[in-house]
Amino acid sequence: MPQIELDDRQFNLPLDCNLLDGLLAAGVSVPHSCRSGHCQTCLLQSDQPLEQDDPACSNLSPEQHAEGWLLACQCWVSQNLILTSFDPTKSAIPALITGQTRLADDVIELRLQPRGPLRYKAGQHLTLWLDENLGRSYSIASLPEDDELAFHLRLYPQGAFSQRIQRMDNGQTIYLSGVAGVCHYDPDWHDRPLLLLARGTAIGMLHAIARDALKQGHSGGISLIVWQRSEASGYRHQQLTEWAAQHPQVTYLTTDDSQGDQLLRQRGLVARNAMALVCGSPAFVERQRKPLFMSGLARRQVLDEAFLGSH
């Protein structure tokens, strides 16, 4: 059985077992959330980097891979490993809380001021750490040139992160790590229609992508379509209506599950050369693939980001 050394503890784990599951079964408290390799809360550092194509490194940056980081939830034990836990106070960027605004009964906008260099594109996501054991991944709802970082957070009654962040005051420090995500604007799309499909707090990141596209001179038209239970449930409906009215090349629409498929099949809404960005729950993202395909979009024309809750 391979020997795993984590900080000052040693374990023997079964060959080919999942590293995160094995450590949790051994009584080790490893931070984790999505279990899909996207949130990067289960980062561990190996003394020897794994192969670049190893699943445990698939969603990491080249810099993270070179430093030996791996995702425990995507690592299958095949050899001895010497590992070090991720410490956000040493390996992440500190940021000051500058404000929290209630956007709906169960949604807040969290604003932060990073205390170090942070490179990102509108629409990407990163992990917010409240301490070394509590981190969650959230999509960025601001632009790099904005004065503050902004995130739209869904609040869960029993959510450890949700409850704690609301009790924190302006000026307190949290930590940022793991910028990632494929849903962001590409200047090469400047003359292609841009189709943005959102549900829930994905509204924030897709609105940021649309604003980024306009700042970069996008000329191909932008359609932002938001799925919601009712007009009243759309927590940014009034603001988005006013914003779209200021930009003739922007179309803003709302729909629901019963009408969404029909809406996407309307003549002229989904152009064959469009780029589609789809963000929301895993079920929502999966539901949009068929109507987009039936509208003539190839797989390479559809980028998606599934918002995964904590386990």
List pLDDT tens digits, range 88-120.
999 899 999 999 999 999 999 999 999 999 999
**Dihedral through CA 231, CA 235, CA 241, CA 243, nearest 10?**
-170
Q: What are 42-92's pLDDT values in tens digits?
A: 999 999 888 888 989 888 888 888 899 999 999 999 999 999 999 999 989
Q: Which amino acid is at 89?
A: T
Q: Give 146-174 pLDDT, tens digit per residue.
A: 999 999 999 999 999 999 999 999 999 99
pLDDT tens-place string over residues 3-28? 999 998 998 999 999 999 999 999 98
Q: How does 1-22 read in b/e, with b if 16+ C-beta sit within 10 Å?
A: ebebebeeeebebeeebbbbbb
Structural domains in the chain, sorted by start: 3-86 (3.10.20.30), 89-180 (2.40.30.10), 187-306 (3.40.50.80)
**Long-range contact pairs involving 248-251 (C-beta distance under 8 Å, separation at least 24):** 249/214, 249/218, 249/219, 249/221, 249/222, 250/210, 250/214, 250/221, 250/222, 250/223, 250/224, 251/221, 251/222, 251/223, 251/224
- CA 267/CA 209 separation, integer angstroms: 25
Look at residue 39 in the predicted model and tell me its pLDDT.
81
pLDDT per residue as tens digits for the range 120-147: 999 999 999 999 989 999 999 999 999 9
Give the model's pLDDT for residue 311: 46
How far is it, in rounded angstroms, from Cα 188 to Cα 220?
11
